[in-house]
Amino acid sequence: MVPQDPLRRRNTLSSTDADNHSDPRRNYRLNPTSLGLVSTLSFPVIVSTADAMLKSAGVTLVGYEKIGNGHCTAIVRGAIAEVRIAVQAGMEHAQKEGQFLSSLVIPRPFPNLEVIFPIGSHLLDPAQQNHRSRISNQAIGLLETRGFPPMVGAADIMLKSANVQLTAYETIGAGLCTVIIQGRVADVAMALQVGIAEANRIGEVTAVTVIPRPLEDLEQSLPLASCLIEEQPQPLKLPIEVKETQKELVELPDLGKLPTKTKDSSS
């Protein structure tokens, strides 16, 4: 006799199910969120790929996974139909840029998969998001070079040539470095044009991307220098119990033992 597969049970919780809700096999079908992954060989390209995925379907960007040698993967979550549309849009964009590697759609990721691999919702850190300096309504520019000196030289000339702000830089292995700037669209475009020329003079430019209107998910996924993170005021912590200090008792002298002055002694 073949034992009944617990995964074929209905998505209703009885009293027994409620007691065993922590078992991943029992609540496996209760999580309808699907998973989509698109991989490229460039950080600016994976950012623009993620932007295309977010703007093509109702998905949430979980983050990026960088495994070295230039390999970057954008990870999104959402309903299966939305994820398929987003992955298709990401594939087409990455292929257009000539940096597409692979893609994957998982309709119902098993809970154990999400615990082990960095593909779950735990990558979203609400505390970190609240501390980020907002760059809404500003364009984002990314310039990738092969080698660190070209990136630094490009960053310097971009800051000197246009009203932009340097927010961070990213390295993904294989000598690939990306500088990230923000500002108005015209300023970012001007800065990137000057930065490309300077980086090519020093070394090699491998990719350039401009995101005119980044969505919030994309904005939160990008690295940010620690000096730009806004410190939130911490609440005042009051002690639960206030210990009263005991006053030290002072012993008074015995007045009866004090020497007294007489008229004879004074004369």
The CATH 3.30.70.1710 portion of the chain extends over: 30-123, 139-228
List, for residues 189-234, the tens digit of each pLDDT value.
Answer: 999 999 999 999 999 999 999 999 999 889 888 988 766 666 556 6
Q: In this structure, what are the phi and psi dihedrals at residue 118, rounded to the nearest 5 degrees? A: -80, 60
- pTM, two decimals, is 0.71
β 165-171/176-183 pair status? antiparallel
Q: Give per-residue pLDDT as tens, 137-183.
A: 799 999 999 999 999 999 999 999 999 999 999 999 999 999 999 99
Q: Within its chain, how far is the Cα of 235 from the centroid?
A: 24
- Classify residue 88 as exposed, middle or buried by CB count within 10 Å of its CB (0-12, 13-18, 19+): middle
Return the structure tokens found at 62: 């979980």
Tell me the CATH architecture of domain 139-228: 2-Layer Sandwich (3.30)
List phi, psi (to 5°) of 100.
-75, 135
The tokens describing 17, both together, are 């199910």
């995925």: which residue's tokens?
53
Architecture of domain 30-123: 2-Layer Sandwich (3.30)
pLDDT one-digit tens code per residue, 223-241: 887 666 665 566 766 666 7
